[in-house]
């Protein structure tokens, strides 16, 4: 069976990583996990993901720092932020900075699955548009040469 998409989950709570890994793996996704922002950033640099789920409150490098660093190197990678201690203003600020979605803990697993599917669909469409743009660019260059 082929994967529905490749996801990275970064959270310092092992039990939460395990729950999300189990649920999303059973749903057909390939899932990697990280226990902090530094590890998540290194994994994003070395592997291709279609979405990342980042907890905001983590040791060493928190989710917002990791989000900023990941967003710099992979601006089209949809990142879902989650937190226990958020507010509506935090959610608005995260979205302004480019977050794909913002989830409050405790969350409904179906909600997470919905956001993951939507993020991956958007990532794939973005890649498709970029590929088509490159093909059009090449066709236009070839047309000018004739």
Domain boundaries, the chain: 6-145
Strand, helix or coil for residue 20: helix
> Predicted confidence band at 88 (pLDDT cuts at 50, 70, 90)?
low
- Alpha helices in the chain, H assignment, sequence order: 14-26, 37-46, 63-73, 88-96, 109-145
pLDDT of residue 23 exceeding 70, the answer is: yes
Stated pTM of the model: 0.85
Query: Is the CATH number of domain 6-145 3.40.50.720?
Result: no
The pLDDT score that the predictor gives to residue 127 is 85
pLDDT of residue 102 exceeding 50, the answer is: yes
Mean pLDDT of 28-34: 96
Q: Lowest-confidence range among 33-42, 55-64, 116-125?
A: 55-64
The per-residue pLDDT of the chain, averaged, comes to 89
Rounded alpha-carbon distances, angstroms, from residue 136 to 8, 44, 132? 32, 29, 6
CB 10 within 8 A of CB 63: yes
Backbone torsion region of residue 75, taken as left when φ is above 0, otherwise alpha when ψ lies between -120 and 50, otherwise beta: alpha
Mean pLDDT of 79-108: 81
């Amino acid at each position: 069976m082929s994967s529905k998409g490749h996801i990275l989950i970064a959270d310092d709570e092992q039990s939460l990583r395990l729950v999300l890994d189990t649920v999303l793996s059973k749903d057909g996704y390939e899932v990697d996990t990280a226990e902090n922002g530094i590890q998540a950033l290194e994994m994003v640099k070395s592997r291709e993901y279609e979405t990342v789920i980042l907890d905001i409150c983590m040791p060493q490098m928190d989710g917002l720092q990791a989000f900023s660093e990941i967003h710099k190197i992979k601006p089209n990678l949809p990142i879902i932020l989650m937190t226990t201690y958020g507010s509506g203003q935090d959610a608005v600020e995260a979205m302004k900075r480019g977050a794909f979605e913002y989830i409050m803990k405790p969350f409904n697993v179906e909600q997470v699955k919905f956001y993951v599917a939507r993020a991956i669909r958007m990532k794939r469409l973005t890649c498709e548009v970029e590929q088509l743009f490159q093909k059009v660019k090449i066709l236009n260059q070839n047309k000018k040469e004739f």
